[in-house]
Amino acid sequence: MSTYDVVVVGGRVAGASTALLLARAGLSVALVDRGQRGSDTLSTHALMRAGVLQLSRWGVLDDLRAAGTPAVRRTVFHHADGEDLAVTIRPRGAVDALYAPRRHLLDRLLVEAAEDAGVHVLHEATVTSLRRDPDGRVTGVVGRTSTGARVDLAAGLTVGADGIRSRVAEQVGATTTWRGRTSSAVLYRYVDDPGADAYEWTYGAGAAAGVIPTDDGASCVFVSTTPIRMRRLRRLGVERAVAELLAAAGPAAVERVRDLPPVSSVRGWAGVPGFVRRSSGPGWALVGDAGYFKDPITSHGITDALRDAELLATEVLAAHRGDLAEEAALARYQQTRERLSRRLLDTTERVAAYDWDAPGIRTLLLRLSAAMADEVEHLESLAPAGAAS
Ligand SMILES: Cc1cc2nc3c(=O)[nH]c(=O)nc-3n(C[C@H](O)[C@H](O)[C@H](O)COP(=O)(O)OP(=O)(O)OC[C@H]3O[C@@H](n4cnc5c(N)ncnc54)[C@H](O)[C@@H]3O)c2cc1C
C-alpha cells in the first residue's frame, strides 16, 4: 500500500487539473484512471474564455498552441429569423483567442503537466471501492489494473473526478441536490475544414448545430435536439438524422458544412439531464462531472471542470495548511462552485428544452454570456496559484 496526501480518481480535465494544482503546491498526489493514457472520450470540446484562461494561468496554453490547436477568433450565431450575429473574441490578458483541442490532446497535456509536477499517474487501473477508517471516513481507494494487479492507495483526501457515473459518488452515497428535466441528444463528426477560425452556432426549429474548429485542419460538426426526436430520427439511419437536424437547425448550418468531406464516423450521445451532487464529506470531494453535470448544449463542461479544479484545490490547500477545518473548506468550495454555476445551470436547462423561438434563444444566450463574464471576472481575481514553478 502507498500513502499520499490526495488520491484523485479520474484523469481527464477535472482530475488531472486538480492533481496538477495540488502537486505544484507541494502535496503528494496519485492520479488513477481506468482509461488508456492519451485516449479520446465522447465529447465535443469547445472551450469558453474561462477555460482558456485557466490553461493560460497554469502554463498549459502554450503547449496547446505548440501542438498546433488553431485559434478561434470569432463566434457567429445564426438564428431562425435570419438574424446573424458575429462576435470577435477580444484579446484580454493572456487569452488571445478561444481554442477547441481534441480531448486526447488536452487531457494528455494536463496529465503530463501533472506528472511534471510530481503526480504519480496510474492509467488502466479501475477503482472499485473506497478505503475507510473505523469512523467511516474515506481514507483512499482500492482497485485493479488491467493486468489484474491490486491497487491499494491510502490518502488523506480522495477526490472523485470520475465523470457522471462516478464510482466515488456512488460509494460515498453523495445525494443529488438538484436534478434537471431537459437534455440534448447529440450527433457529431469531424470534417476536413482547414483555416476555420470561428465557432458557429445555429439555432432553428427545435434543433441546434455547431461547427468547432479543432486540431489537424478539421472541424467538429454537431447537431442536437431532444432525446425523443433524436430516437425517432435515428431509426432512419445516422446520416439521415444528421441531414434532417442540420436542415432543422437552419440553412446557415447546411451551407456551412455542405462541401466539407467527413474524416471520421458519426458519434452519438443519447442525453442525460443535468444534476448537482453534494460534493464533499469526511475524507472525500467530487469535482467535474462527478459533482455537477450540465447539458452539453452550452459547451461549458470542460470549462467548468478547469474552473472547479482550482476552486477545489484552493480549499484543499487551505485545509492542509490548517487555515480552516476540512469540512468548512470543502463547504466553501461547494458554495463558490454553486454561486458561479447557478445561472449557467438554469440557462442551460432552458436551452436544452428546445422550445425557444429566435428572440427566446437570443435572450438565453445573452444570459449565458453575462454568467460567463462573471465567471471570468472571478478567475481573473484569483492569485496566480498553479503556475508552473
Ligand atoms: C456529447 C457531448 C459534447 C460535449 N461538448 C462539450 C464542449 O463542446 N465543451 C465543453 O466544455 N464540454 C463539453 N461536454 C462536456 C464535457 O465532456 C465534460 O463536462 C467533461 O468531460 C467533464 O470532465 P471530467 O474530467 O469531469 O470527467 P470525464 O471527462 O468524464 O473523465 C472521467 C474519467 O474518470 C475515469 N473513471 C471513471 N470511473 C473510474 C474508476 N472507477 N476508476 C478509474 N477511473 C475512472 C474515466 O476513465 C474518465 O477518464 C460535452 C459532453 C458531451 C457528452
* pLDDT for residue 387 is more than 90: no
Residue bearing the CA closest to ligand 1, atom 52 = 43
Distance 222 CA to ligand 1 centre (A): 17
> Which pLDDT value is given to residue 385?
60
For the Cβ of 186 lying below 6 angstroms from any atom of ligand 1, the answer is yes
Mean pLDDT of 317-346: 97
Instruction: Report the separation in Å between the CA atom of 275 and the middle of ligand 1, taken as the mean of its atom positions.
Output: 14
* Phi, psi angle pair for 361, to nearest 5°: -70, -35
> pTM (2 decimals)?
0.97
pLDDT at 364 over 70: yes
pLDDT in tens, 57-88: 999 999 999 999 999 999 999 999 999 999 99
> Domain limits of the chain?
2-70+98-180+272-380, 185-269
Is the CB of 103 inside a 6 Å radius of any atom of ligand 1? no
Looking at domain 185-269, does it have CATH number 3.30.9.10? yes
Strands 84-88 and 74-79: antiparallel
Per-residue pLDDT, 383 = 79
Ligand 1 contact via 300 beta carbon (within 6 Å): yes
Mean pLDDT value across residues 133-158: 98
Does the beta carbon of 302 lie inside 6 Å of ligand 1? Answer: yes
Q: Average pLDDT of 343-349?
A: 97
Predicted confidence (pLDDT) per residue in 7-16, tens digit: 999 999 999 9
What is the structure's pLDDT at 109? 98
Q: Is the CB of 102 under 6 A from ligand 1?
A: no
Whether pLDDT at 202 is above 80: yes
Strands 74-79 and 198-203: parallel
Report the separation in Å between the CA atom of 48 and the middle of ligand 1, taken as the mean of its atom positions: 16
The average pLDDT across 3-28 equals 98
Q: Which of 8, 17, 32, 33 to mutate to test the pocket of ligand 1 (most atoms within 8 A of CB)?
A: 33
Ligand 1 touching residue 99 (CB < 6 A)? no
Q: Is the pLDDT of residue 1 over 90?
A: no
Average pLDDT of the chain is 96
Each residue's pLDDT tens digit, 90-121: 999 889 999 999 999 999 999 999 999 999 99
Nearest CA to ligand 1 atom 28: 163
What one-letter code names the amino acid at 112? E
- 203-229 burial, b for 16+ CB within 10 Å, e for fewer? bbeebbbbbbbbbebbbbbbbbbbbeb
Once rounded to an integer, what is the mean pLDDT over residues 256-283?
97
CATH class held by domain 2-70+98-180+272-380: alpha beta
Q: Which residues contact 129 (CB under 8 A, 6 or more apart)?
A: 141, 142, 143, 171
Q: Is the dihedral of CA 191, 195, 201, 202 positive or negative?
A: negative
Sign of the torsion angle spanned by Cα atoms 139, 144, 145, 151: positive
- Please work out whether the CB of residue 15 comes within 6 Å of at least one atom of ligand 1: yes
Q: Determine the atom of ligand 1 nearest the C-alpha atom of 267.
A: 1
Whole-angstrom distance, CA of residue 30 vs CA of residue 159: 10
Rounded alpha-carbon distances, angstroms, from residue 376 to 50, 51, 101: 5, 9, 20
Q: 288 CB under 6 A from ligand 1? A: yes
- Confidence grade of residue 389 (pLDDT, cut at 50, 70, 90): very low
φ and ψ of 19, to 5 deg: -60, -45
